[in-house]
Amino acid sequence: MSSNSSKLRHRWKEEEPEKYQAYLLQQRIRNKERRDKKKTKQAEEMPTRAALQQIEREKLAQRERSRRYREKKAAQSCSTTVREPRESTTIASSTGKKRCEMTEEERRKHDSEVRKNHYSRMSDQMKTARKKIDKERKQKKREEEKAKETTAAIGLINLLKRLPKTQQNVGSKIMSSNSSKLRHRWKEEEPEKYQAYLLQQRIRNKERRDKKKTKRAEEMPTRAALQQIEREKLAQRERGRRYREKKAAQSCSTTVRQPHESTTVASSTGKRRCDMTEEERRKHDSEVRKNHYSRMSDQMKTARKKIDKERKQKKREEEKAKETTAAIGLINLLKRLPKTQQNVGSKVNMKYPYVMCCL
């Protein structure tokens, strides 16, 4: 099963180990050059979904090769060497005391030495995994603390909202900054200046968003950057939801709902629909549909058009399927007839011109 090159390598490994080691070194150098070239190419090009999937497949294949290599080495060591008894990692205390007998300072120093000794005996993979776990734990702890602070702030804001006006002013002095106080004063006393400030903020925010989009388009997207984008989208949806709820509450508290106007169209002839002729009923129904359509919103009109388009397309497909089924049945019937009767049947089947082509 082996090729000539593999046979040559096996012969070098058994008979000429120096030449085999030189060959392995040459292969390592070539593989490193190939990997560096691939990394440079991936960094220069815009990553696509197929490219990211290929990178994941290569990583999985590399892990599988490493796993097989470790299993092979473990099997060789089990078959050729005797396992030595494991050395104890316990560090004797410099004071000669048990841990329960130590003071607080001595116990802290002793625990630090034990951790350092344990960490120094770990493999590189275990150290990397340990760092990753610690990083995730610290990040989770920070997020929990931030969530607690936010919850406390929201509770304080709601408490201040329930207070009377005089006490609210005291609370706002504690919570508000000088810039927010200035904005509130503009909003109440100088609305023109406040509108100019809002316009200026919109322009600045748009410039900031454009700059951020350009920067993200130029850089290579990382996992942290993608997670940040998702968080920004969620925050934007939350702000939109709060804004809609605020507007709905304002409209409910300030406006009174008007009674719904009737959409009934009076007949031009003054008759009831059951008393009309066929032509008058058709005209009346057309006027009712036009009036109803004119009162619909743009979103409802778009949805209505989409539904009508799908319904008509489905109807056309059903009609075409029925015609095809009928044509196929007629073709099978004509095929079973004798030659003389097939000519008579072909005159009947002129309704389907493409049927004669299938015969």
Asked whether residue 167 is domain-assigned, the answer is yes
Asked whether residue 57 is domain-assigned, the answer is no
pLDDT in tens, 290-334: 888 888 888 888 888 888 899 999 999 999 888 888 888 877 777
pLDDT in tens, 92-135: 666 778 888 888 888 888 888 888 888 888 888 888 888 888 88
Based on the number of CB atoms within 10 Å of its own CB, is 320 exposed (0-12), middle (13-18) or buried (19 or more)?
Answer: exposed
Asked whether residue 327 is domain-assigned, the answer is yes
Find the Cα–Cα–Cα–Cα dihedral 283, 289, 295, 296, rounded to 10°.
Answer: -160
117/87 Cα distance (integer angstroms) = 12
Query: Which of 253, 268, 296 is the C-terminal boundary of a domain?
Result: 253
Residues 290 and 352 in one domain: yes
Query: Which of 143, 175, 207 is the C-terminal boundary of a domain?
Result: 175
Asked whether residue 303 is domain-assigned, the answer is yes
pLDDT in tens, 146-192: 888 888 878 777 777 776 655 545 545 555 688 888 888 899 998 89
Residues 211 and 228 in one domain: no
Residues 156 and 197 in one domain: no
Residues 198 and 235 in one domain: no
pLDDT band with cut points at 50, 70 and 90 for residue 85: low
Asked whether residue 313 is domain-assigned, the answer is yes
pLDDT at position 265: 56
Based on the number of CB atoms within 10 Å of its own CB, is 197 exposed (0-12), middle (13-18) or buried (19 or more)?
Answer: middle
Residues 227 and 169 in one domain: no
Residues 195 and 163 in one domain: no
Asked whether residue 118 is domain-assigned, the answer is no
The answer on pLDDT for 260 being more than 60 is no
**Structural domain boundaries enclosing 4:** 1-36
Query: Which of 253, 269, 300 is the C-terminal boundary of a domain?
Result: 253
Number of domains, the chain: 5
209/215 Cα distance (integer angstroms) = 10
Residues 226 and 214 in one domain: no
Residues 149 and 193 in one domain: no
pLDDT in tens, 24-79: 888 889 988 988 988 888 888 877 888 888 888 888 898 898 888 888 888 887 66
Residues 158 and 187 in one domain: no
Asked whether residue 67 is domain-assigned, the answer is no
Residues 292 and 335 in one domain: yes
Q: Which residue has the higher pLDDT, 163 or 286?
A: 286
Residues 136 and 165 in one domain: yes
Asked whether residue 270 is domain-assigned, the answer is no
Locate all alpha helices (DSSP H) within 16-121, ordered by sequence: 17-44, 49-80, 104-120
Residues 302 and 343 in one domain: yes
- Residue-wise over 214-247: b if at least 16 C-beta within 10 A, else e? eeeeeeeeeeeeeeeeeeeeeeeeeeeeeeeeee
